[in-house]
Structure 1
Amino acid sequence: MPDSLERELDASVCPSAAVAASGAIQPHGCVIGFDNGWREVCLASANLSRFFGLSPAEALGRSPERVLGLDGVIALQEALAAGSPGIALPTSCGGADLPGLHLSLQATGRHVVLTGEPLEGTAHDLPGFGCSWGARLAQADSASELDARLRQALLALTGFESCTLVRPEHGCLASERLPGAVYHSDGPSLWLADTWAGPVELWTAPGPHVELTSCPLRLAPPALGHWLADRQARAALILDLHEAPPGRSLAICWDRRPRYLAPPVRHLLLQLAQMAALRRTLLHETQRTRHRYRLLHERNTRLQRLAYTDPLTQLANRHRIEQVLDTELALASRNEAPLAVLLFDIDHFKSINDTHGHETGDRVLYRIARQAQSHLRDSDHLGRWGGEEFIVVVPGCELPRARELAWRMCRTLAQCRIAPVGQVTASFGVASRQPGDSCRVLVRRADQAMYLAKQAGRACVRSLAGAS
């Protein structure tokens, strides 16, 4: 470029300039607009001669081929059709004393807007930088780690002194708060601003207005100049992080020195911002999925407990205790290990209900369940068999030891006083596993033993070891 970067910075702001944003651009590049049929130039910036050797007056009304050359127009049309962000020309229109340019195209409906910017300041290995920083962003395991790596990438690739990320959900410090026009602007996804540079006016031919909303040379809001001046910063980079609503998330970099970022560098920054946004969305969805899975697991556990638990006594219900007995009996049969079953019934329970009411009867059932549970090991299983009947599955227990356990429980229950009933007793039947026993046979034998205990006067223990 003929002038130094001190005067030719990307993205200028001049609060004192009384020019509409659509009527001026930033000074480090030029703009040419033509109809979407590529017939004639209808817009040109005042600094066009510096880049293409033609004044705006000479360019307006001419065909794009007269300004860009036939080869340049063909290359641009092919780039636009292929979705390329632009092309690089070593020199403009073959002029030896003119700067090499990067040409970007934006189709706006009725028009095509061409932006020309100098090639200088472009790193030689941008694909390598993109691959390296993209991999680091993709490997971030948390939102905070992702933000830290994105800040590192922006500082490394731009050379700016400071960088911060601002999101609506957590706000920002008052010292970093941007003007509202920046948050709500429909302008480019990336702005560069310099408080010292003046705008370049646009020349237009008669006809429809050329829309410059997406033009990378579009002027930033004047209020941004005041924001930079408050921080004694000359240059600023504002990058849209492309994150999902609500609000607009931005990366803000600023520097006391002038900064110029060539279009390929800016394209890389936009690509990294989009990659970070995708990674952030993935991390957010992963976190939501884990949270939903945890809630689902908790609800399933609660439902399973409700399905397996007797609501009154909080013991295993009959369905669950039958499953447990099936499992323990199969395990004992396979290992030829002992297994005992205790079946006990609260004595005169109908009289308790009739005399004191069902609420008292429920309280008796709950207290009996707690007393019985206190005598058992962690490996034993207590469940409500039905009504006032309870069952205990005791793995690894021979018949003599099972009888001793039943007697301990029987005596403890007889010593327990439950108001207003007083003494409450139970009758116990004990049976041990025999070869070939099924669950039904084993429980029936315990039930028969309990019946013998009832016949013997209640509040006692009887057992059956052999087949019934």
Structure 2
Amino acid sequence: MPDSLERELDASVCPSAANATHGAIQPHGCLIGFDSDWRRVCLASTNLPRFFGLASTEALGCPLERVVGGGATVALERALALGSPGISLPARPASGALQRLHLSLHATGRLIILAAEPLEGTAHDLPGLGYAWGTRLAQADSTGELDARLQQALHALTGFEFCTLSQPKRAGPATEHLPGELSHSDYPPLWLVDSRAVPVELLATPGINADLSDCPLHLPAPMLHRWLADRQARAALMLDLQAARPERRYAVCWDRRPRSLAPPLRHLLLQLVQTAALRRTLLDETQQTQQRYRLLSERNSRLQRLAYTDPLTQLANRHRIERVLETELALASRTDAPLAVLLFDIDHFKPINDTHGHETGDRVLSQVARQAQSHLRDSDHLGRWGGEEFIVVIPCCELSRARELAWRMCRALAQRRIDPVGQVTASFGVATSQPGDSCRTLVRRADQAMYLAKQAGRACVRTQEAG
């Protein structure tokens, strides 16, 4: 690297060139910065002769075509307009040996940054490899499978010894972590690092302030040097998996030997990573949609239960049991099958509330409901008709059987004590469906029978025949 005296001598030979330094880059390529009018080179790395046979001090202030040639300049302008990742061209450096270079560029502020790297070791069928691995990534059914396939692709295409999907330190104890500063710094989405290479200095004309954050020759941060040293790694390939998220996530390949990857292969790797990122987003959104659907379904079921269930006794409420009765009565009418209705009311319930309080009254209602439910079949329907009154809808049940069931329920309830009230009884009315019945007429007959049970002294059963 030239010292300050050498730069001053170069500048005296070429007065249009300045000797101000502007940082440094990795040495596996060279860098040229020029104005957006393509008229003047404003920034050049000191290894420019190795790639183009022209000293950096001579290049500063000159048109770009003098450095790379007129044909290459036209091709670069077209590539930038088309959004192409770069072009390849033959170049003859100062050594005189012809080599092929890959030129990539991007616009940043008032400057356009051009990075030149040698084309070496490029696979023969990159499009075919990209299609094959891209298809495998796009067909992954889970994020775990996607990560495994991405690691396989990186291993196969780079040949690096190690490959992992890393996360910043806050991600959790079970993952491979990178230095925390990488999650908040501006670095290229794909980055090839040689941790022991000597940086190449940049020279610039006065007033130049170039943003090199997207440059593939960007120098690694000191913390990344230490991270690689801990793993005895010389070369590393960093691919940003999710730059848009709060915590950046990287695919990291590293090797104990110096390694190089030609730009076309790096572009293919970046495309695969982007394919994986899109697939991950789709999988995450699908999972979130499924979770939202399950949550919505659970909430709808809960709302339905609330709409149809009495909150105190957890029985069907009046609205629900009326719908059940309509359905069962219509079915009984079509099949000419009997349908029984039991209507029962807790005796002397108001004194229970007045003496022991409404909380005790609520407990009595709940226990009576459980006691009644224990005598019923799965096909029978028990509901709270209102207040201390309950109704049982019993399909395929004749009057005699319904009366027997009502007496069993009546006696079982009277034999059980409910603290602190003691004995609690109920009066039962029983009715069965008749031709031309509606829900109202059927329930009215059961209600009349229950009234007869009250008149008979309570804690007993009466049927519609008794009326």
- TM-score, structure 2 as length reference: 0.87
Q: Distance in 2 between matches of 1:191 and 1:303?
A: 54
Q: How far off is 1:383 after superposition?
A: 0.9
Match of 1:100, SS? Answer: strand
RMSD, matched Cα: 2.8
Q: How does 1:199-214 map to 2 (within 5 A)?
A: 199-214=199-214
- Answer yes or no: is the 8 Å Cα contact 1:50–1:98 preserved in 2: no
Q: How far off is 1:356 after superposition?
A: 4.4
- Answer yes or no: is the 8 Å Cα contact 1:21–1:219 preserved in 2: no
Q: Distance in 2 between matches of 1:220 and 1:420?
A: 79
Q: CA separation of 1:223/1:425 partners in 2, compared to 1, >3 Å: closer, same or farther?
A: closer
Q: How far off is 1:357 after superposition?
A: 4.2
Q: Distance in 1 between matches of 2:275 and 2:22?
A: 31
Match of 2:99, SS? Answer: coil
Q: Distance in 1 between matches of 2:220 and 2:355?
A: 88
- Residue equivalent to 1:444: 444
Q: How does 1:26-425 map to 2 (within 5 A)?
A: 26-91=26-91, 97-168=97-168, 169-171=170-172, 177-425=177-425
- Residue equivalent to 1:454: 454
Q: Distance in 2 between matches of 1:403 and 1:163?
A: 78
Q: CA separation of 1:65/1:349 partners in 2, compared to 1, >3 Å: closer, same or farther?
A: same
Q: How far off is 1:90 after superposition?
A: 4.6
The AA in structure 2 aligned to 1:432 is T
Q: How far off is 1:420 after superposition?
A: 4.3
- CA deviations over 1:437-466 (Å, ceiling 9, x no partner): 221122112112222333333332222379
Q: Distance in 1 between matches of 2:416 and 2:85?
A: 87
Q: Distance in 2 between matches of 1:330 and 1:92?
A: 96
Range with greater deviation from structure 2 (68-77 or 278-287): 278-287
- Answer yes or no: is the 8 Å Cα contact 2:21–2:202 preserved in 1: no
Q: CA separation of 1:221/1:346 partners in 2, compared to 1, >3 Å: closer, same or farther?
A: closer
- Answer yes or no: is the 8 Å Cα contact 1:26–1:217 preserved in 2: yes
Q: Distance in 1 between matches of 2:215 and 2:311?
A: 69
The AA in structure 2 aligned to 1:170 is A
Q: Distance in 2 between matches of 1:134 and 1:258?
A: 28
Q: Distance in 1 between matches of 2:98 and 2:465?
A: 109
- Answer yes or no: is the 8 Å Cα contact 2:427–2:460 preserved in 1: yes
Q: CA separation of 1:143/1:21 partners in 2, compared to 1, >3 Å: closer, same or farther?
A: farther
The AA in structure 2 aligned to 1:315 is L
Q: How far off is 1:163 after superposition?
A: 1.4
Q: CA separation of 1:443/1:65 partners in 2, compared to 1, >3 Å: closer, same or farther?
A: same
- Answer yes or no: is the 8 Å Cα contact 2:26–2:194 preserved in 1: no
Q: How far off is 1:177 after superposition?
A: 4.8
Q: CA separation of 1:323/1:243 partners in 2, compared to 1, >3 Å: closer, same or farther?
A: farther
Q: How far off is 1:148 after superposition?
A: 1.7
Q: How far off is 1:182 after superposition?
A: 4.0
- Answer yes or no: is the 8 Å Cα contact 1:105–1:114 preserved in 2: yes
Q: Distance in 2 between matches of 1:35 and 1:221?
A: 28
Q: Distance in 2 between matches of 1:173 and 1:379?
A: 53
Match of 2:315, SS? Answer: coil
Q: CA separation of 1:337/1:92 partners in 2, compared to 1, >3 Å: closer, same or farther?
A: farther
Q: How far off is 1:355 after superposition?
A: 4.6
The AA in structure 2 aligned to 1:54 is L
Q: How far off is 1:354 after superposition?
A: 4.2
The AA in structure 1 aligned to 2:71 is D
The AA in structure 2 aligned to 1:117 is E
- Answer yes or no: is the 8 Å Cα contact 2:91–2:101 preserved in 1: yes
- Answer yes or no: is the 8 Å Cα contact 1:166–1:172 preserved in 2: no
1:434 paired to 2:427: no
The AA in structure 1 aligned to 2:31 is V
Q: How far off is 1:360 after superposition?
A: 3.7
- Answer yes or no: is the 8 Å Cα contact 1:193–1:236 preserved in 2: yes
- Residue equivalent to 1:13: none
Which has the higher relative contact order, 1 or 2, with Cα contacts under 8 A spaced 6 or more apart? 1
Q: Distance in 1 between matches of 2:314 and 2:414?
A: 22
Q: Distance in 2 between matches of 1:76 and 1:92?
A: 18
- Residue equivalent to 2:24: 24
- CA deviations over 1:318-364 (Å, ceiling 9, x no partner): 11211221222233333333321111122233344445444443333
Range with greater deviation from structure 2 (280-289 or 403-412): 280-289
- Residue equivalent to 1:3: none
Q: Distance in 2 between matches of 1:167 and 1:21?
A: 35
* Count of aligned pairs: 446
Q: Distance in 2 between matches of 1:194 and 1:356?
A: 84
The AA in structure 1 aligned to 2:397 is C
Match of 2:430, SS? Answer: strand
Q: How far off is 1:89 after superposition?
A: 2.1
- Answer yes or no: is the 8 Å Cα contact 1:431–1:463 preserved in 2: yes
- Answer yes or no: is the 8 Å Cα contact 2:22–2:204 preserved in 1: no
The AA in structure 1 aligned to 2:280 is R
- Answer yes or no: is the 8 Å Cα contact 1:372–1:409 preserved in 2: yes
Report % sequence identity: 73
- Answer yes or no: is the 8 Å Cα contact 2:195–2:220 preserved in 1: no
- Answer yes or no: is the 8 Å Cα contact 1:27–1:198 preserved in 2: yes
- Answer yes or no: is the 8 Å Cα contact 1:92–1:101 preserved in 2: no
Q: CA separation of 1:404/1:33 partners in 2, compared to 1, >3 Å: closer, same or farther?
A: same
